[in-house]
Amino acid sequence: MSSTAIGADSHGSSGHEEKNYLNATRGLKSWIFTVDHKRIGIMYLGAILTFFLIGGLLAIAVRLELFSPDPVLTKDPSLYNKLFTLHGAIMVFLVLVPSIPASIGNFILPLQLGAKDVAFPKLNLASLWVYCIGALFLIAVILTKAVETGWTFYTPYSKDSASSVVLATLGVFILGFSSIFTGLNFIVTIHKMRAPGMTWRRLPLFVWAMYATSIIQVLATPVIAITMLLMLLERTLGIGIFDPALGGDPVLYQHFFWFYSHPVVYVMILPGFGIISELVTVHSRKNIFGYNAIAISSVSIAIIGFLVWGHHMFVSGQSPLASVIFSALTFFVAVPTAIKVLSWVATMYGGSIRFTTPMMYTFSFLFLFSIGGLTGLLLSTLATDVHLHDTYYVVAHFHYVMMGGTLIAFIGGIFHWWPKMTGKLYNEKWGNISAILVFIGFNITFFSQFVAGTQGMPRRYYTYAEQYQPWQQLSTIGSWVLALGLFTAAGVLLKSIFGGQRSPHNPWGAVSMEWETATPPIEHNFHEQPICEHGPYDFPEIDHTMGPAH
Amino acid sequence: MLSTLIAKTFWLPEQASTFAKSHDALFYFIYWTMVIFFVAIVGTMIYFAVKYKKRSDDDRTSPLEGNTKLELAWSILPSFLLIVMFAWGFKGYMSMLIPPANATDVHVTGYKWGWNFTYHTGDVGNNELIVPLGQPIRLIMSSEQTSPDDMAVLHSFYVPAFRIKRDVLPYRYTVLWFEATELGSFDIFCTEYCGTGHSNMIGKVIVVPPEDWEAAISSGRDFVDDGSMGTLAEFGEMTFGRAGCPACHSVEGQRLTGPALNGVFGREEAIEGGAPVMVDEDYLRESIMEPQAKIVNGYPRTMPTYAGQLSPDQIMGLVEYIKTLQ
C-alpha cells in the first residue's frame, strides 16, 4: 500500500503482459474445479445475476398481471400465485442472501485483507456447488410440486401444499449450507489471515460488514434445519407440531420461520452497508466519518437482529405481551441503522466528490434506503402496524430496503470493482444514465405501492378492488422503466468486456489493499506478502494540515 | 387516472370506526417525523454533493474522521422520539385488544374462500357483516375446513376503514372488536394468503342504524334447517342435551363428574400442572375439542374428545349457551 500506487497507472498492467487469474489456466475444468476465491466469486456473480434476471422477469410478469383487476396475462389465479412465489423465493434465497458476500465478498475480501485466498478454499468451492444444487432443487420443487404459498411457505394451505413445503424448506436448507460454508470461511479468514499491520481498526468497513454477516449466517441458518426436521417428523410420524388438524400450532411455524428469516434480512442488508462505506469514502476522497460507530453498529445490528422476529406477527394471535416486547426491541434496531446513514452523509462533508457511476448508485442508495428505513417506523409501532400489516405498504417497505438498499449497493459495488475483476473500463456516461433510470423507475414502481398499501390494498392479490387500480398501473409502468435501467446497466458492463478500454491499475485511486496488486489480480493475489501501513481510507488528497472543523 | 388519485384521500381510507381517528393521529405523527428526517438526511446529502463536487485534481479534502458530540447527539436524541412512538402505539394496541363489557358478540368463520357471520339471534350472513352504528361489536373468529378432505387454513380479517386486522386461525378463536362511527358499506379483505381464491375473499361490513339492526340481520337465512330454533344460545342448549353433556356437567352448580358450567365463563380456573386460565371462548372450545389439554384442578381426566363429532355451528352454539349460564 505505498502511496505511489495511488491515482495513477504507476505499476503493473499496461506494458508487459503478466498472466492474471483469468488467463493463468484455461478450459472449463479449470473453472469448475478451481479453488481460487476470485474465480469462485466470478462464477457466483454469474449465477446470482442469472437468477436476478429470472426473478426480475417474473416480477415484470407479476406487475403486468396487476395492470388491471381483470385477467391480463392469465385467467388462472393459481398461476399468478406460482409466479409471485417463484419471484420471492428466487430473489430472497438465490439472489439477496448470497448476492454480495458470495460474489463481491469472495472476490474482494481476501484481497482487502492482503491474503492469498480464503482460509478454506475447497470449502469455498463446495459452497458454490451446494448453492447450485440447492438452487436447482428449490426451483424444481416450486415448479413440479406447484408450490404457491409465497416465499414464506406458511403452513397450512392444503394437504398437497403441506408436503411440498417440506421439500421447499429442504431446498432452503441446502442453500443454507452454502451460506454457512461462506460465513465460516470469512470468519476464519478475517481472524487469521490479515496482512501484517492490519489491525482490527484498519479493516476496511466492507470486511467488518462481512464479519457481522458471517456471524448471523452461521448462527441463524441451523434454525431452518430444525424447522425442516420438525416438519418431516410431523409428516412421517403424524406428531402434531405445526398442523392444527393434528393438534399442532401454525403460529409456531411462523415463529420458527421468522427466527431464521428475520436475522437473514440482516444477512441481506449488512453487506450492502459494507459496500456503501467503501464507495462513499473512495469517491468522496474522505476518511469515513465515525469508523468505530459504523463497525460497532454492524455487529450490534447482527445481535439485536436475532431478537426482533416477532414483529412479523403482531396480528398473528401471538401473545400481546410478546408483541409489545418485540415492538420495543425493534425500535432498538433503528438506532444503529440511523447512525450508519448519518455517518455516510457526514463522510461527504469537506470531500472532493466524483460523480462516478458507483457514486451515483451510492446517492441512490442513501435516498432509497432512507425511505426504506424510515417507513419501518410505522411498522414497528404496534397500532399502526395493525392497519399496515400484509398490505402493499409492507411490500413497498421491504423492496425499498432490499432492492433500494441491498441490490442498489450490489450494483454500485459491481461498477466499483468491475475494473478490478475484469480489467476493463465501462462507459461512465451510460453507467450514470443507468443509475438515473433505475432510480426513477424504482421510485415509480414502489412509491405508488406505499400509497396503495396505506389505503388498504392487501398483498398477494391476483385481483383487487378497483379503487387501487391507478396506483397499480403506475407501479406497473414504473417496473418497465426500472427494467430499462437494469438492462442499460447490464449493457454497459457487457459492452466493456467486449470492447471496453483496458483499465488502469487503480482507476478510482483507492488505497485499500485490493488495489495494491495488479488489475485484474494475479492468480495468487500478491507477489509477496503485503504489509499494511495505514488505514483503508487514508487518501492522499486529505489535508492533514487543516483543522478537523474544515 | 390522475383525477382519481387526487380525489381520494392521499394516504388513508375513510375513517369509519372509533379506532380510525386515534390511529390516524399516530400515523401522521410518525409520518411527519419520517418526512422531516428524510428531508434533513437527503437534503444534507444533496447540499454536500453540490458543494463538495470535485473542482480540480488538486482538491484537498477535510481530515475529519468523526465528532463524538455530534455522534452521541444523533444516537441519543432520536431515541426520545422512538420512545414516544412505541408508547403511543402500545396504548392504541391495548385499546384494540380489550373490548368493552357491553360489546355484542358475532361469530366469524373464515373458509376457502369466504366469510360466514353468525349472530346471537342464530341468523347467518355470508360475506356480509351487518352491524349497528355506534355500538361495540366483538368478533369471535376461527377458520374451518370446507370439506373433510381439505385443511382449514390461515386467514386474516381486515377492514381498512376501521383500521383493524387480526389473523383467523384454524380450530381456535381469536378476538377482534370495533365500534362503527359511519353508516355505509366498507370492504373486508383477507390479508393472510390462503391460496387460489385469496383475492376473492372479499366481504363487506354494512353499518346500519341501531334500530334497524335486528331487522337487517334477520333478513339473512336461519342456519338451523328445521326452522324451529331461535337464538344461537338456544341452539347450543339443544346441542348440549343431544351430545349428552348434562351427564357430567351440571348447569346449576352441583359437582358431577366434570365441573358445573354456570358462572364459569369469565372466571379464572386453577389448572392441573399449569398456569391458571381465564375461561374465555377459546378455552371452552379447547375443552370440548381437546379436553385433556387443560384439566381444572381436582377433576378426573375422563372426558372424551368431541373433535369431528360436533359441527362448527354446534361448537359455536355450545360456547354461546355456556356463556349465558349464570
Residue A367 contacts B where some CB pair is shorter than 8 Å: yes
B166 with B238, same domain? no
Average pLDDT, integer, range B296-306: 88
Average pLDDT, integer, range B165-178: 92
Q: Give A467: exposed, middle or buried? Use CB within 10 Å, 0-12, 13-18, 19+.
A: middle
B20 with B90, same domain? yes
Range(s) of the domain holding residue B146: 104-222
Q: Would you identify the CATH topology of the domain A3-13+28-515?
A: Cytochrome C Oxidase; Chain A (1.20.210)
> At residue B221, does pLDDT exceed 60?
no
pLDDT of residue B322: 92
Domain for residue B266, yes or no? yes
Cell numbers at A403, concatenated? 432492492
Residue B28 contacts A where some CB pair is shorter than 8 Å: no
CA angle B293, B294, B298 (to 5 degrees): 130
Domain finish residue from B222, B240, B274: B222
* Beta-carbon separation of A383 and B164 below 8 A: no
Q: Mutation target for A interface from B62, B93, B205: give the one with most A CBs within 10 A.
A: B62
Domain for residue B58, yes or no? no
Q: Mutation target for B interface from A296, A337, A390: give the one with most B CBs within 10 A.
A: A390
Q: How far apart are CA A365 and CA A27, in angstroms?
A: 39
Residue B29, min C-alpha distance to chain A (Å): 10
Domain for residue B243, yes or no? yes
B210 with B247, same domain? no
Lowest mean per-residue pLDDT among A137-141, B150-154, B269-273: B150-154
B319 with B301, same domain? yes
Phi-psi region of B244 (alpha: psi -120 to 50; beta: other; left: phi over 0): left
* Pairing mode, strands B221-222 and B174-179: unpaired
Q: Is the ipTM of this complex over 0.95?
A: no
550 residues of chain A, pLDDT tens digit each: 333 333 344 444 444 577 899 888 888 899 999 999 999 999 999 999 999 999 999 999 999 999 999 999 999 998 999 899 999 999 999 999 999 999 999 999 999 999 999 999 999 999 999 999 999 999 898 888 777 778 877 766 655 666 677 888 888 889 989 999 999 999 999 999 999 999 999 999 999 999 999 999 999 888 888 888 888 888 788 888 888 777 788 888 889 889 988 999 999 999 999 999 999 999 999 999 999 999 999 888 888 889 999 999 998 888 889 999 999 999 988 889 999 999 999 999 999 999 999 999 999 999 999 999 999 999 999 999 999 999 999 999 999 999 999 999 999 999 999 999 999 999 999 999 999 999 999 999 999 999 999 999 999 999 999 999 999 999 999 999 999 999 999 999 999 999 889 999 999 999 999 998 998 999 999 999 999 999 999 999 998 887 655 5
Scanning A233-252 for CB atoms below 8 A from B yields: 243-245, 247, 250-251
B90 with B108, same domain? no
* Beta-carbon separation of B199 and A464 below 8 A: yes
Domain for residue B256, yes or no? yes
Average model confidence (pLDDT) across chain B: 88
Q: Mutation target for B interface from A66, A87, A154, A157: give the one with most B CBs within 10 A.
A: A157
B50 chain-A contacts, CB cut-off 8 A = none
B120 with B202, same domain? yes
Q: How far apart are CA A83 and CA A367, in angstroms?
A: 30
Q: How far apart are CA B171 and CA B190, in angstroms?
A: 18
Q: Among B22, B27, B165, select the one facing A389 at the smallest CB separation.
A: B165
CA-nearest residue of chain B to A149? Answer: B195
pLDDT of residue A243: 81
User: Which is more confident, A311 or B231?
Assistant: A311
* Beta-carbon separation of A244 and B152 below 8 A: yes
* Beta-carbon separation of B48 and A351 below 8 A: yes
> Would you say A204 and A291 are in contact if contact means Cβ atoms under 8 Å apart?
no
CATH of the domain at B217: 2.60.40.420
B126 with B188, same domain? yes
B93 with B117, same domain? no
pLDDT of residue A154: 77
Domain for residue B196, yes or no? yes
pLDDT of residue A8: 40
* Beta-carbon separation of A349 and B149 below 8 A: no
* Pairing mode, strands B114-118 and B104-111: antiparallel
Domain for residue B56, yes or no? no
> At residue B171, does pLDDT exceed 90?
no
Residue A82 contacts B where some CB pair is shorter than 8 Å: no
CA dihedral A517, A518, A522, A526 (to 10 degrees): -20
Domain finish residue from B222, B244, B263: B222
B203 with B267, same domain? no
Residue A154, min C-alpha distance to chain B (Å): 9
Q: Mutation target for B interface from A352, A360, A392: give the one with most B CBs within 10 A.
A: A352
B83 with B42, same domain? yes
Scanning A491-520 for CB atoms below 8 A from B yields: none
Distances (CA, A) of B81 to A331, A340, B74, B78: 10, 18, 12, 5
> Using the 8-state DSSP alphabet, how is residue A141 labeled?
H
Q: Among A339, A350, A546, select the one facing B74 at the smallest CB separation.
A: A339
What confidence category does residue B231 fall into, taking pLDDT thresholds of 50, 70 and 90?
A: confident
> Would you say B149 and B178 are in contact if contact means Cβ atoms under 8 Å apart?
no
Residue B275 contacts A where some CB pair is shorter than 8 Å: no
> Edge-to-edge strands of the sheet including B174-179?
B174-179, B136-143, B104-111, B114-118, B123-126, B221-222
Q: How far apart are CA A246 and CA A46, in angstroms?
A: 45
CA angle B153, A379, A293 (to 5 degrees): 130
pLDDT of residue A204: 96
Scanning B93-112 for CB atoms below 8 A from A yields: 93-94, 96-97
pLDDT of residue B226: 52
B88 with B151, same domain? no
Domain finish residue from B188, B222, B256: B222
CATH of the domain at B275: 1.10.760.10
B93 with B112, same domain? no
Domain for residue B260, yes or no? yes
Number of structural domains, chain B?
3
A377 chain-B contacts, CB cut-off 8 A = 30, 33-34, 82, 85
Residue A81 contacts B where some CB pair is shorter than 8 Å: yes
